[in-house]
Structure 1
């Protein structure tokens, strides 16, 4: 599945959340990530994120789609992090 993930966490936890999300997804802008991920890997990511987060003040938002081709993406201005698809 293809997801777009964004988080809003306390400044003390930003570095940990950034490091975690970069293990699973492509970092596109500040606290926004996108990419293909399996259901199992997504569950793992959510579990680890919940360990970092304070559920009273922090949030994690995930938009899901079957495939990236079902989304239209338009970038205006500079793209923060270009995604390289290489092996």
Structure 2
């Protein structure tokens, strides 16, 4: 499946440390696109593992994570406004 993951980590209560851990976990599974946005092809098993790892560092009262799922990237239209930094274009 193709996934777009977006997160917002509060800076309260050791937020910088949580943000750093969340960033590193997401980077293991997906491509970093922009600030707190990741995307990429991932199996269901990998997605479950990603979610389990993230749960350890997400404060449900302060932070949020949104995961958009699609069967395939071709079902997702991307539209860029402003500065375009499509980091996925570097892959062959």
When normalised by structure 1's length, the TM-score is 0.90
Partner in structure 1 of residue 91 of structure 2: 85
Aligned length, in residue pairs: 86
1:69 to 56, 74, 83: 74
- The yes-or-no answer on 1:6 pairing with 2:11 is no
Q: Flag structure 1 segments of 5+ consecutive residues without an equivalent.
A: none
Q: 1:82 Cα shift? A: 1.5
Q: Flag structure 2 segments of 5+ consecutive residues without an equivalent.
A: none
Counterpart Cα distance in 2 of 1:48 and 1:79:
30
- The yes-or-no answer on 1:30 pairing with 2:51 is no
Structure 1 outlier segments of 4+, above 6 Å: none
When normalised by structure 2's length, the TM-score is 0.85
